[in-house]
Every structure is written in structure tokens, then in C-alpha cells.
């Protein structure tokens, strides 16, 4: 047996993004807390009685905290993150959970591809807390020895033993083959579908947003940004392949016009539907719909516009996009503020309370690079404002303001009001 690391925290992130109460109980963290970090491979030797007792102690404490979380905090999905590579350990977990009527689903990842194993060790295991500040070559050697210890006692989950009634999913070579058994219910099905779309290849996801409101064409500044965008992407991606996703609204399609990559237009990426409030200022909403105005201020994530959507609605709408992002490599999404906030919150593990206030600035490309334990982020600003002002007279500027605010008649009033409705 060789294992490929599946970051179970990504399942937690996905379920929390869908508003499912989820928590990870990592036995490795309990082990490090009880017995210290930097345990060498001999600690995991099945013939090391002292090490086995210590590992079981950590597992039992984690299980106890997990049960307490279910009972006291009304949890929905707990992720017991441990190796669990023997029938004895899995039986212990099943029996423990049966006492509290908790359903158990096992996730097994098996790999026979040596190149994938080596890549996984270098990309994942060497950045784990067990090998922090350790020489990479020594860490890799130690982890290979640890795998050998696991192999000595490994017993695969299967339906030809006492485990034939267990619920499980088995991923072979990172999803090239998937085996499922006794999967039941909505949540288990969603987890299976999610895992079937994961891969471990390095990739980047780029965000670029358009201006707010309606289905207008690009402004002069927007056209300048669209012309500058290909060079910025090329400078950061080189010759790597890229697919561009846009909404079906004109301004995102026009922004992608000069990019020399395959382009896909997704209706699901269209901006949050503000219903009867579309195009209105905050002051106009406050005057016409005062109750709605107050409700939105109190709970921006759950507030649904009359005849429109809430951020929660958009999250559910975007679930197919998340699934597709997890199975793709490099993607550039040219979208809208509310849409990009929801996707950004997923990758950066931000809460529902924070999601509606994430800053996604105009004329800026955000590059996210998912890693095993984090998601790296870089931001690249294209200084369109300076170029625009240096090349325009005051008449051009007034025309641009009129276009953005909604016509010359609204300009005078607009100076005294806050900005147009920001989803």
C-alpha cells in the first residue's frame, strides 16, 4: 500500500461553504500535543509497543472530542483525520460511533504510481507539521520509512470481509479509479462527487472583476484594462495552458476579447440578481424599501433582494463551478464582485459573515494557488486610472462619470449619494 495525501480539510471547507456544520479532528495534532512534534518513523513502527499505545491514546482523545462536539454543538459532519489502516482500528471507530447513532463513512486513497507518490511527498508531506524546519531529503527519507511501517499492517477496506456493510469510497491513483460502497443520503453523495473531482496537480486560479450593474459594454478604462490583461497573464503564467471563464454579460466577454486562450461563457457566473433593486443606489433602496434596507445591513449574507437573490443563493448556484474548478488546471475567471467573493471565500476558507465584505478591486488580477495546507495569493494591479486621466480631457471624464452613475441627470445627485449598489 502507498497512500496519497487527500487533504480532508478541503472537504471541511467545501461543506462549510455550503453552510453545513463541519469540523476536522486531526489525530496527528492530538499526537503532537500529547507526545511532541518531530516523531521519527520508528514511532510508527507496528512493533513499537510504546508508540502504538501513544497513537491509540491520541486517537481515543480525538474521538472523545468529536463525540462531545456532536452532542454539545449540534455538529453535522465530523472528519476524523487519521490513517485508520487496519480493520481493528476501523472496527473501533464504528463501535464507538454506533453508541451515539453516528453514521460513519471511510475514505481510502491508494496509489501505485511512483511518480505521483514522490510528487505527493515533496508537495505535501514535507510541508506538514511533522517535518517543519527539517532537511527536505531527510524528511522524505523518513516519510518513506513511515509508509513502509504502514504497509506492514495495512488492510484495505473492502466488501469481501467483515467490512462489506461499511460505507466507504476508495480512490485509486488520485481518482483514476473510484470504488464506492453503501453510499446513502445527500451529504455522503455530495462528498463522493466532490472527491471524484479532486486532483493534486499544481494549478492557479485567476480572478478579474468587471464594474457593477446592468449589462453594459466596457467603458474606455475597461477597454484599456482588457488590452493590458493578456500581457499580465502571460508574464505570470508563461506558456502554461489556460482556460478563460466569463459570465454571459457583455462586459466580461469584452474583457476577455484579447486573451489568446479558449473561452467559455457560463450563465451561472452572472452577477447576483438584485431583483427590483437592480441599478438603484443605497439611498433609493432606503427610501423605497426601508425594511429591506435594514434587513440587508443586519445580515448581508442571507438577505434576499425582492425578486432576486441572496449571497447564500449564489453560493448554491456556484456549486457546479466549484466542482469544475477542482478538476481543472489553470483557470482565469472574469466575473462580477458577488460571484468572485463567493469563489474567493471558498478557496481562502472565509466565513459567511466575512464573505459579503471581501474586497475584489477593479482592474486587479488575483492569483490563487491552492496548496495542501494553505492557498497562496498574489494580486496584480494594472494602473488604468493613471493612463486614463493622462489621456483624457475634462469632457471625457464627465462622460465617463455619467456612464458609470447612469446618465447626466443623475450626476448632480450622485455626488451626494454613496456609490451605486454594491452587491
Concatenated DSSP letters of 298-310: H-TTT---TTS--
Q: Is residue 214 one of the residues assigned to a domain?
A: yes
Q: Can you give the pTM of this predicted structure?
A: 0.83
Residues 171 and 22 in one domain: yes
User: Could you tell me the CA-to-CA distances from 287 to 283, 302, 308, 337, 419 in Å, in that order?
Assistant: 6, 21, 19, 25, 16
- CATH code: domain of residue 183: 3.40.50.300
- pLDDT, residue 3, reads 54
Q: Is residue 149 part of a domain?
A: yes
Q: Domain of 280?
A: 205-386
Express as a percent the part of the chain with pLDDT over 90: 62
Residue 309 lies inside a defined structural domain of this protein = yes
**Whether residues 93 and 116 fall in one domain:** yes
Give the three-class secondary structure for 252. helix
Confidence check: pLDDT of 421 > 60: no
The residue ranking higher by pLDDT, 272 or 281, is 272
Facing residues of 110 across strands? 172
| Domain count of the fold of the chain | 2
Say if residue 89 is in the same domain as residue 161.
yes
Q: Residue 283: what pLDDT? A: 85
- Between helix 319-327 and helix 185-196 the angle, nearest 10°, is 40
Residues 320 and 356 in one domain: yes
Same domain, 209 and 192: no
Residue 157 has pLDDT above 50, yes or no: yes
The answer to whether residue 416 sits within a structural domain is no
In a domain, 12, yes or no: yes
**Is the predicted pLDDT of residue 321 greater than 60, yes or no?**
yes
Residues 184 and 315 in one domain: no
Percent of the chain at pLDDT exceeding 70: 87
What is the sign of the dihedral through the CA atoms of 42, 46, 49 and 53? Answer: positive
Is residue 219 domain-shared with residue 365, that is, in the same domain? yes
In a domain, 414, yes or no: no
Residues 273 and 301 both lie in one domain: yes
- Average pLDDT (322-330) is 92
Same domain for 176 and 236: no
* CATH number of the CATH domain containing 294: 3.40.50.1240
Q: At 400, is the pLDDT very low, low, confident or very high (cuts 50, 70, 90)?
A: very low
Q: Please give the Cα distance from 385 to 362 (Å, whole number).
A: 10
Segment 59-91, tens digit of pLDDT: 999 999 999 999 999 999 999 999 999 999 999
Q: Where are the alpha helices (DSSP H) in 197-336?
A: 220-237, 250-255, 282-288, 290-298, 311-317, 319-327
Among 173, 196, 219, identify where a domain stops: 196
What pLDDT, on the 0 to 100 scale, is given for residue 126? 63
226 and 175 together in one domain: no
Do 186 and 224 lie in a common domain? no
Q: Note the pLDDT tens digit of each residue in 132-152.
A: 888 888 888 898 899 899 989
Mind listing the pLDDT tens digit for each residue in 357-395? 999 998 999 999 988 778 999 999 998 764 444 444 434
Please report the pLDDT score of residue 210 as a whole number: 67
Residue 125 has a pLDDT of: 62
**209 in the same domain as 190:** no
Contact between 29 and 80 under an 8 Å Cβ cutoff? The reply is: no
Amino acid at each position: 500500500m502507498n497512500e496519497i495525501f487527500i487533504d480532508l480539510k478541503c472537504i471541511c471547507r467545501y461543506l462549510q461553504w455550503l453552510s453545513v456544520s463541519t469540523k476536522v479532528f486531526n489525530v496527528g495534532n492530538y499526537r503532537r500535543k500529547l507526545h511532541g512534534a518531530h516523531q521519527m518513523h520508528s514511532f510508527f513502527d507496528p512493533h513499537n509497543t510504546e508508540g502504538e499505545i501513544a497513537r491509540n491514546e491520541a486517537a481515543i482523545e480525538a474521538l472523545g472530542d468529536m463525540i462531545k462536539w456532536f452532542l454539545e454543538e449540534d455538529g453535522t459532519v465530523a472528519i476524523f483525520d487519521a490513517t485508520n489502516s487496519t480493520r481493528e482500528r476501523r472496527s473501533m471507530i464504528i463501535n464507538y460511533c454506533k453508541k451515539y447513532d453516528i453514521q460513519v463513512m471511510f475514505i481510502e486513497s491508494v496509489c501505485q504510481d511512483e511518480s505521483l507518490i514522490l510528487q505527493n511527498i515533496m508537495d505535501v508531506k514535507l510541508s506538514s507539521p511533522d517535518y517543519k524546519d527539517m532537511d527536505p531529503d531527510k524528511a522524505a527519507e523518513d516519510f518513506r520509512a513511515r509508509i513502509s511501517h504502514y504497509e506492514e499492517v495495512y488492510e484495505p477496506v473492502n466488501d469481501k470481509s467483515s467490512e462489506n456493510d461499511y460505507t466507504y469510497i476508495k480512490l485509486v491513483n488520485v481518482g483514476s479509479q473510484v470504488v464506492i460502497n453503501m453510499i446513502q443520503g445527500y451529504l455522503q453523495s455530495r462528498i463522493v462527487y466532490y472527491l471524484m473531482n479532486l486532483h493534486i496537480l499544481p494549478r492557479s486560479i485567476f480572478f478579474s472583476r468587471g464594474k457593477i450593474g446592468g449589462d453594459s459594454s466596457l467603458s474606455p478604462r475597461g477597454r484599456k484594462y482588457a488590452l493590458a490583461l493578456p500581457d499580465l497573464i502571460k508574464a505570470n503564467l508563461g506558456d502554461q495552458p489556460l482556460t478563460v471563464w466569463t459570465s454571459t454579460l457583455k462586459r466580461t466577454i469584452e474583457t476577455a476579447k484579447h486573451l489568446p486562450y479558449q473561452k467559455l461563457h457560463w450563465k451561472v457566473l452572472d452577477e447576483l440578481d438584485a431583483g427590483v433593486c437592480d441599478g438603484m443606489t443605497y439611498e433609493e433602496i432606503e427610501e423605497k424599501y426601508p425594511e429591506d434596507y435594514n434587513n440587508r445591513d443586519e445580515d448581508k449574507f442571507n438577505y434576499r433582494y425582492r425578486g432576486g437573490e441572496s449571497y447564500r443563493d449564489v453560493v448554491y448556484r456556484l456549486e457546479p463551478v466549484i466542482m469544475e474548478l477542482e478538476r481543472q488546471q489553470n483557470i482565469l475567471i472574469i466575473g462580477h464582485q458577488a460571484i468572485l467573493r463567493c469563489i474567493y471565500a471558498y478557496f481562502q476558507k472565509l466565513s459567511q459573515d466575512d464573505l459579503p465584505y471581501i474586497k475584489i478591486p477593479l482592474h486587479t488580477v488575483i492569483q490563487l494557488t491552492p496548496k495542501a495546507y494553505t492557498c497562496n495569493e498574489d494580486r496584480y494591479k494594472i494602473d488604468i486610472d493613471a493612463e486614463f486621466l493622462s489621456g483624457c480631457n475634462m469632457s471625457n471624464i464627465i462622460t465617463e462619470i455619467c456612464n458609470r452613475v447612469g446618465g447626466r441627470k443623475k450626476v448632480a445627485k450622485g455626488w451626494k449619494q454613496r456609490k451605486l449598489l454594491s452587491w
